[in-house]
Amino acid sequence: MLSYLNVLLNAEDAAKACALRIAEILTEAVAARGEARCALSGGSSPKLMFAELAKLQMNWEKIFLYWVDERVVPPDHPDSNYKMAMEYLILPAGIPIEHLARIAGERYPEEAAAHYISEIRVEFHLKEGELPVFDLIHRGMGPDSHTASLFPGDPLIEDDYEIASNTYVEKFNSNRVTLLPGVLKKARHTVILAPGADKAEALRDVLEGKSDPMKHPCQIAAKPPFPTEWFVDEASARLLTKKS
């Protein structure tokens, strides 16, 4: 594993380094288990990383993609995480459509969550009460230190037992479906891409502040002993006292 904190010069370099690491992890998973299962996040930061990942030579026939979270909108909506991944990664890389397990955001929130949970249970061959183990979960972090669609104060932050849930994000007046902390904690690998000066305070609080996931949800599985690696830039790391 690389250093859990990788500080690059700028957002472009952080995206490239993150893409290379994701490719390495997924390639190793395919070699070890014959396939790889990866959950992707949305937002603005992954666009560069997805574009870089699409350029790499990958055995996409053996890789299955899921989503960490999704807005409850149709798949062609500008706010759809699926749409963004489709444009920047899936189509450019030629990833088979049948290897995608998207969250059906065009459904009612509760129905979308239930359908996603059912699909994960079937594809991971889970018994009652079991949680999926993703080979890789890619996450981001907002300036408010949210991750996935787990925002500060959400009671779901304390749910280590369920796979996913619908949730309402009041600050954005947005219904979402998100994977839950128990799943985030069980991932074989996690990469968090969080460049940008607007994330400097959140990064400091998450990595160097008091442990309080209810206030800083991105602290969930954020550093050792969890197999998590951060890819940030000098702008987002400017307030850290330790940058290695």
Q: What's the total number of domains in the chain?
A: 1
Sheet with 228-233, strands from edge to edge, namely 5-8, 228-233, 190-193, 136-140, 36-40, 63-67, 100-101
Asked whether residue 216 is domain-assigned, the answer is no
Asked whether residue 234 is domain-assigned, the answer is no
Give the pLDDT confidence of 73-82 residue by residue, as tens digits. Answer: 999 999 999 9
Give the pLDDT confidence of 171-197 residue by residue, as tens digits. Answer: 899 999 999 999 999 999 999 999 999
Nearest alpha-carbon partner for 83 in 98, 111, 105: 105
Give the pLDDT confidence of 82-140 residue by residue, as tens digits. Answer: 999 999 999 999 999 999 999 999 999 999 999 999 999 999 999 999 999 999 999 99
Phi, psi values for residue 217, rounded to 5°:
-55, -30
Asked whether residue 13 is domain-assigned, the answer is yes
pLDDT over 70, % of the chain: 98
- For residue 95, the domain's CATH number is 3.40.50.1360
Calculate mean pLDDT across residues 63-69. 98
Asked whether residue 112 is domain-assigned, the answer is yes
Asked whether residue 97 is domain-assigned, the answer is yes
Residue 221: pLDDT band with limits 50, 70, 90: very high
Average pLDDT over all residues of the chain: 96
Q: Is the pLDDT of residue 70 over 50?
A: yes
Predicted local confidence at residue 45, as pLDDT: 85
Structural domain containing residue 66? 5-140+167-172+185-196
- Cα 50 from Cα 84, distance rounded (Å): 9
Burial class (CB in 10 A: 0-12, 13-18, 19+), 113: buried
Asked whether residue 46 is domain-assigned, the answer is yes
Give the pLDDT confidence of 141-174 residue by residue, as tens digits. Answer: 999 999 999 999 999 999 999 999 999 999 899 9
Asked whether residue 31 is domain-assigned, the answer is yes
Asked whether residue 86 is domain-assigned, the answer is yes
Q: Is the pLDDT of residue 225 over 50?
A: yes
- Cα 59 from Cα 62, distance rounded (Å): 6
Calculate mean pLDDT across residues 48-53. 97
The one-letter code for the residue type at 137 is I
